[in-house]
Structure formats: structure tokens, C-alpha cells
Amino acid sequence: MSGSGRRGGGLLVAGTTSDAGKSVVTAGICRWLARQGVRVAPFKGQNMSLNSFVTREGAEIGRAQAMQAQAARVEPTALMNPVLLKPGGDRTSQVVLLGKPVGEMSARGFFGDAGPAGKPPSDTRSAGETQHGGRRASLRDTVVECLEQLRGTYEAVICEGAGSPAEINLRRTDIVNMGIARAAQLPVLVVGDIDRGGVFAQFFGTTALLAAEDQRLVAGYLVNKFRGDVTLLEPGLDMLRGLTGRGTYGVLPYAHGLGIDEEDGLRVSLRGAVRESVVAPPLGEDVLRVAVCAVPLMSNFTDVDALAAEPGVVVRFADRPQELADADLVIVPGTRGTVRALAWLRERGLADALARRAAEGRPVLGVCGGFQALGERIEDEVESRAGEVEGLGLLPVRVRFAHDKTLARPAGKALGEHVEGYEIHHGVAEVLGGEPFLDGCRVGSVWGTHWHGSLESDAFRRAFLREVAAAAGRRFTPAPDTCFGALREEQLDRLGDLIEEHADTDALLRLIEQGPPAGLPFIPPGAP
């Protein structure tokens, strides 16, 4: 790879569609390179997601990029995801620039000429501390400068695109697909999900809809989620090369149960969806059933992944009161719309079901927005602008929404065990009673906290599950050796294995180091 003082190599992983596998392929390439001793970093210029994370310097970035940083074995920073859009309903999103929120904006406003701007910091240590006034550099300049800073620090930067690079209606304002590839002259690898069908048409059509200057950067393709004998696919790959002049860099098999952090939302319908498809048998006599209320604008639903990794714990998402009836624990998760979630809980009859559970001493856990909803009262002139709203009244808590967002990485003790987490919220909670629980409180078998990620602390998770099992009357025993961090590392290694075993890694390395191959043909008609 590049030596000292040289700009590092790079690659853009694009996709024929959303959910083609860009995030996992990017993570897999990062883990494969890291295992080769390459200093590598992930990058996504613009992300739209309600699953976010807080870096050590207090910057908010997409959780997928934090996962990819872990795959690369580096600390995540705001440079890795300079623009994060957090949908809030009514066609608006909160814009998070270099780790800090800078306001709400409509889709038309964001993709038009005007928009918030910022200048990236001079080094990664202050990525989350940028001032957004003064100079009005364009978002594209901001994104490109962040990428260049990473390439000046790392030997390779693996960039993830968004949606499809052939979204011709957005080409003029693109800062995440071919726009960033053109600006940085990055080679582009296009990923297609063959499990959906039509992957050859997707590869050809994606290329043929790009302008000539963009097509010169499209080096080739990577097939994802293939089931069966790869030799049956090879004639099609040969024909694709004949049609486009571009080869296929690998065929990745369908892999079950990867369980990595997701970006845009649940991949399946929420009704009855199981968070993990395979549940290991319990150590005790009983399983433990967890129901997660599928509130609108649900954020950081990855909080329940650590529960789903426990032997004998079944996690499901629910949107009807009947689905809470046999649950041993009900979780009201985080949301970008607490007041909207409250209305939804009431409309669906879930609010009454939660009240009955609390009265019966059956466990309920509220996290972040879910914690706020369980309180007595909410004053919101920021998120929903609904003013004073009555909460569910299950916890002695009053919440006032502040304009400044809390972004923190707290640590503490609960149930006698060390706990770490992260906070992302505008609501400021005034706890008026109950037993202290992290930054929130507990009343009987109802718990509430603003801390995301707390259940990833192994000893605390086991203590919490013992409390839940006792309150639910279940003969459930938490596994003494489940280490969520180790399981996550195993999953990331599986992604690295997919790349190492099923991709042409020599060709990938040349692409990263040397850029797009010369002489790639133009495929008509090109962009209109």
C-alpha cells in the first residue's frame, strides 16, 4: 500500500439497489484488509438512518460506519460519515454535519442548491467540534475534504455508496455515489443482490445509465447472496463481461445470521419479525420472550441485538396488544418522534397493555424515546412542537425537549454491575422518584433509561435478565459465558472470510492501489 506522505488508495462500493449489500461488503473488505496489516478506514459521505452512534469525541455518525470502523479495527470518527440525515416525518430530516445537528430540512431543500454547510476540521480529533457559521463551503466540498483527510491518514479508504449510483434525478447534487467517485477519482465496484433476481439487468442498466465520465470509473461487479453452484452462473458472468467490458470481482454466497448493525431499517415486515432467525436453546427450563413495540421512526433498534444473542431469548417486534400477552419483557425502544410514538401506542391499544403489565408487576423497559414515553409529562417545542403532552404515567419522570442535543458516552453501575452506553436525545428528563437506574429510574418492574447500548455490557445484561426472569416467573438462566463483543468480532470475521474466500482479492487490491483500469468502454445510452 501507499507509503508515508502519500495519499492512500480508495474504492467506492456502490449497489444496484438499496439493501444490495453495500454495508456488509464494505465491512468485509475493511476486515480483510485489516487482517493483511493494511491501515484501512471506512467512509460514507452521506447517510440516511435512524440507527446512529456516538464517537469518543462526542460526534454522531451512522451506526453502520461505526460497525465498519470496528471491522477495520480503528476508532470511529465524524470524518467517516460527515453528513447524516435522520428522518423525522413530514418529508423532513434532521441534518447532522460532522457529528453535530445543524437543523431540520426538507428533501427538496437538502437536494437543492441551498443547504447547511461546514468546513471539516484540521485533524480528526476535533471532527465533532466544527463551527458551522462563517464560510459557506458546499456539502460536496466538505465530504471530499473529509475523504482526503482520511486518505492522508490511512493506507486505504473503503467508501460506501447509497441507494443506486444510477439515480439520474439526483446526479447533479450527488455527494455519496458517483459525485464523490468523480471528485476523488475512485474506482467503483457495483454490488448486486442476486437473491432478488434480475442481477444481470441491474448491472448492465446501472452502467448504461451513467455518463461517460462516470462509466470510466466503474471497474466491475460483485454478486452478493448467491445460492447454488457458481459454475451455473459463470456463463452469465462471461456474457456480462462481453456486454460491458467489465469483469466480476467475486460471487459471495448467501450467509445466514450475520447480525451486523443495520442502516436503514428492518429488512422484513415488523409484524412477528424475529430479530435473530436462530435461537440457541436455553440453559434453564424456560425460554424468555421479549416483545419490542414497533413504534414509528424507531431508532437504534440494534439495542436489542445483545438480548437476541443470548441462548434461550426470543426477540420479536410487535404492533398489536395481543402480541404482548405472552411476552416476559416488553421494550419500548428509541424513536425520532416521541410524541408521535405516544399517539401510536394509544391508537393501537398498546398503551393500555403496557399499563396493565405495570399494574401486574410484569417487566417493561423504556429506552431513550421509549423512556420518555413512559413518563408523566412531555414538554416538546423542538421535535414535534406539540407543547405539553401527557405521557403514559408509568414512571415518575417529566421530560422537556431542549434545542441542544445530548451526545455522550456514559459509564456507570446498575444492578451491581458495570455498564457502558451512549446517549442521543433532545429530551431532558427530571426524575421525581423511583429507584435510580442508570440515568433514569425503576418503579417495580418498569425500568427507563436514556442509555443506548447498555445491554451490550455482558455482566449487566445477565443481571437484568435474572431480574426479568424472576418478575416473569420464568425458570430462565442467563448463559454465563455469552460475550457480545466476541460474537460481534466473530461476525465481522465472517464478513472478512466471505471476501477472502469468494472474491478476487488480488484484483481488488490492485483496484484500491491503482485506481480504475484504463480503457473501460462506454455503454450507451449514458445519462440523459
- Residue that is written with C-alpha cell 461488503 in the block: 25
Instruction: Residue 369: name the closest of 349, 409, 397, 388 by CA.
Output: 397
Give the sheet arrangement for strand 9-15, strand by strand.
40-43, 156-160, 9-15, 188-193, 218-226, 247-253
Please list, residue by residue across 310-334, b when 16 or more beta carbons sit within 10 angstroms of its beta carbon and e when fewer do.
bbbbbbbbbbebebbeebbbbbbbb
Task: Convert 195-235 into a string of H (helix), E (strand) and C (coil).
Answer: HHCCHHHHHHHHHHCCCHHHHCCEEEEEEEEECCCHHHCHH
Fill in the amino acid letter for 457.
S
What burial class does residue 4 get, using C-beta atoms within 10 Å of its C-beta: 0-12 exposed, 13-18 middle, 19+ buried?
exposed
Active site residues: 368, 452
Compute the distance between CA of residue 233 and CA of residue 251 in angstroms, rounded to an integer: 9
Q: Torsion over CA of 150, 151, 155 and 160, rounded to 10 degrees?
A: 70
Packed helices 234-244 and 199-208: angle between N→C axes, nearest 10 degrees: 10
Packed helices 350-360 and 338-347: angle between N→C axes, nearest 10 degrees: 90
Instruction: Residue 79: name the closest of 184, 129, 149 by CA.
Output: 149
Compute the distance between CA of residue 16 and CA of residue 21 in angstroms, rounded to an integer: 10
* Three-state SS at 293: strand
- Residue that is written with C-alpha cell 451526545 in the block: 407
Fill in the amino acid letter for 117.
A
C-alpha distances (whole Å) from 354 to each of 16, 361, 514 are 42, 11, 58
Fill in the amino acid letter for 358.
A
* Three-state SS at 411: strand
What does the longest C-alpha to C-alpha distance in the chain come to?
A: 71
* Three-state SS at 362: coil
- Strand-strand pairing, 60-62 and 40-43: unpaired
Compute the distance between CA of residue 29 and CA of residue 77 in angstroms, rounded to an integer: 19
270 contacts: CB under 8 Å, gap ≥ 6: 294, 317, 319
> Is residue 269 a contact partner of residue 255, using CB atoms and an 8 Å limit?
no
